[in-house]
């Protein structure tokens, strides 16, 4: 979890403190829409908090084996699954509160000192209370790790038999011929190839499983005249186990898991409710586009703290903006995520756009470096 907490105490102290300085001048921040085209200065914007939720999910598939109907007959396995099943669950949530420029809050900072850039402005930028690069955001690029499981891209059961899939059979037909003044039936043999039945293939697979178990037991019991040694012994057991597991899955089925990641961006505002549904999640099908019967709402609830700093009164006269700089203090808030009735994530962060915009008075003795 990534959480950014803004601590503006240093900037507030900087505004209230006057050190030995250097030049006497004026500083003001003017809303960009009120600036004359020829005006000079530095443009900046107030920060806007955007939430980034990266939700990790896991899909689990159960694929029944093609020989599931014969598991009890040939292997003695009862209650083997014969139905396809799909399950989804949320395995993790990452959170980041990113600061981006507020397009409705651009200002022009002007000053008439000999400083290239007032130290106060740089301090506000460093604290995150203003942004000096409108149009640029600091949402980190997220590259989800690959699952590494390519099972879903391949046939679930690529090897269903170790023998031929077809069998050659001979049919005996009789034809009647006239021989020595009598009719005689003569046998005619006809060979043809036909596909094995499902039960025949299941019987062969079960026979191989029993044979593998017998060979593994004989190796473990040293019942061979010549036995593999060292790494060869280990490799032999691993191959016997792998082959047995592969053919067992033809009867008992196979479970495949794969992980996914989905990113949600959400920007709170005073005009929006404190509770919103980001998406819907179904335990049987994952993220749902519509309200399916089993889809649960994935809800975001914000619990902001009470404001303890009053909002600055809007100033209409240009004179009142002299020796002031406009910045924004964030409002600490609690962020909660619910899946249906269950709380799945909770954290604390600071939200700028529901915080307080302040026109702070600045002493005429500017901080210069």
d(CA 181, CA 37): 124
**How far apart are the C-alpha atoms of 302 and 118, rounded to whole Å?**
37
321 lies in some domain: yes
For residues 185-207, give the mean pLDDT: 86
DSSP 131: B
DSSP secondary structure code for residue 60 in this structure: E
Report the C-alpha gap between 69 and 64 in whole angstroms.
10
261-277 pLDDT per residue, tens: 999 999 998 777 889 99
Q: Tell me how crowded residue 364 is: count the other CB atoms within 10 A of its CB.
A: 14
Q: Is 123 inside a domain boundary?
A: yes
Token pair of 337, please?
Answer: 């995520």
| Domain-located, residue 320 | yes
pLDDT at 20 over 70: no
For the ranges 116-120, 206-210, 256-260, 357-361, which has the lowest average pLDDT?
116-120
Residue span of the structural domain in which 92 resides: 9-152+256-274+303-331+345-366
> Which residues neighbour 338 within 8 Å (Cβ) at sequence distance 6 or greater?
297, 298, 299, 301, 344
Q: What pLDDT band is residue 14 in, cutting at 50, 70 and 90? A: very low
Q: Does some domain include residue 97? A: yes
**Those residues with Cβ within 8 angstroms of residue 111's Cβ, 6 or more apart along the chain or in another chain:** 25, 26, 27, 28, 41, 118, 366
Provide the 3-class DSSP secondary structure of residue 121. Answer: helix
Judge whether residue 24 has pLDDT over 50.
Answer: no
- Please state, rounded to an integer, the average pLDDT across all residues of the chain: 78
Strand order from edge to edge, sheet including 27-31: 27-31, 85-111, 42-63, 254-266
Least confident range from 12-16, 60-64, 141-145, 275-279: namely 12-16
Range with lowest mean pLDDT among 11-15, 88-92, 155-159:
11-15
Among 80-84, 292-296, 329-333, where is mean pLDDT lowest?
A: 292-296
In the chain, the number of structural domains is 1
| pLDDT tens, position by position, 74-120 | 999 998 999 999 999 999 999 999 888 888 888 887 776 666 666 66
- The per-residue pLDDT for range 145-154, each reduced to its tens digit, is 444 444 554 5
Q: What does the alpha-carbon distance between residue 197 and residue 199 come to, in Å, rounded to a whole number? A: 5
The confidence band for 342, taking pLDDT boundaries of 50, 70 and 90, is: very high
In whole angstroms, how far apart are CA 357 and each of 22, 105, 130, 252, 335?
29, 10, 11, 65, 22
Residue of 172 and 208 predicted with greater confidence = 208
Say how many Å lie between the first and final Cα of the chain, rounded.
Answer: 37
Q: Could you report the per-residue pLDDT of 26-57, keeping only the tens digit for each? A: 667 778 767 666 566 778 888 899 999 999 99
In a domain, 69, yes or no: yes
The confidence band for 4, taking pLDDT boundaries of 50, 70 and 90, is very low
How high is the pLDDT of residue 133? 59
186 or 40: which leads in pLDDT: 186
**Residue 15 included in any domain:** yes
In this structure, is residue 292 part of a structural domain? Answer: no
Mean pLDDT of 295-300: 93
Residue 59 lies in a domain: yes
Q: Is the pLDDT of residue 332 over 60?
A: yes
pLDDT for residue 141 is more than 60: no
Range with top average pLDDT, 186-190, 261-265, 322-326: 261-265
The C-alpha atoms of residue 59 and residue 285 are separated, in whole angstroms, by: 9
Whole-structure pTM value = 0.70
Query: Distances from the Cα of 168 to the Cαs of 69, 100, 159, 213, 265, in angstroms?
Result: 25, 73, 21, 29, 63
């Amino acid at each position: 979890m990534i959480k950014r907490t803004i601590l503006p105490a240093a900037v507030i102290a900087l505004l209230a403190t006057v050190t030995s300085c250097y030049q006497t001048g004026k500083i003001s921040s003017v809303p960009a829409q009120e600036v004359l085209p020829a005006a000079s200065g530095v443009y900046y914007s107030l920060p806007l908090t955007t939430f980034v939720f990266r939700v990790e999910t896991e899909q689990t598939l159960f694929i029944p084996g093609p020989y599931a109907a014969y598991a009890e007959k040939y292997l003695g396995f009862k209650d083997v699954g014969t139905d396809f099943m799909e399950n989804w669950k949320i395995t993790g949530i990452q959170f980041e509160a990113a600061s981006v420029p507020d397009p409705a809050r651009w200002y022009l900072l002007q000053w008439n000192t000999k400083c290239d850039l007032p130290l106060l402005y740089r301090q506000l930028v460093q604290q995150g209370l203003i942004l000096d690069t409108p149009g640029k955001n600091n949402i980190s690029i997220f590259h989800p790790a690959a699952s590494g499981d390519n099972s879903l891209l391949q046939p679930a059961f690529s090897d269903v038999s170790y023998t031929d899939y077809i069998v050659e059979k001979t049919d005996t037909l009789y034809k009647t011929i006239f021989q020595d003044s009598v009719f005689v039936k003569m046998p005619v043999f006809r060979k043809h190839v036909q596909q094995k039945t499902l039960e025949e293939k299941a019987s062969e697979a079960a026979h191989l499983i029993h044979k593998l178990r017998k060979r593994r037991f004989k190796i473990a019991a040293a019942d061979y005249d010549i036995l593999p040694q060292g790494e060869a012994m280990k490799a032999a057991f691993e191959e016997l186990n792998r082959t047995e597991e592969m053919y067992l899955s033809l009867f008992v089925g196979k479970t495949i898991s794969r992980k996914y990641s989905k990113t949600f961006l959400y920007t709170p505002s005073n005009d929006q409710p404190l509770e919103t549904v980001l998406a819907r999640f179904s335990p049987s099908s994952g993220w749902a586009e519509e309200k399916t019967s089993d889809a649960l709402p994935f809800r975001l609830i914000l619990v902001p703290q009470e404001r303890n700093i009053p909002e600055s009164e809007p100033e209409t006269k240009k004179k009142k903006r002299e020796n002031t700089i406009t910045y924004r203090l964030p409002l600490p808030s609690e962020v909660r995520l619910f899946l249906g009735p269950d709380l799945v994530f909770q954290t604390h962060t600071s939200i700028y756009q529901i915080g307080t915009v302040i026109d702070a008075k600045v002493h005429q003795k500017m901080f210069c470096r």
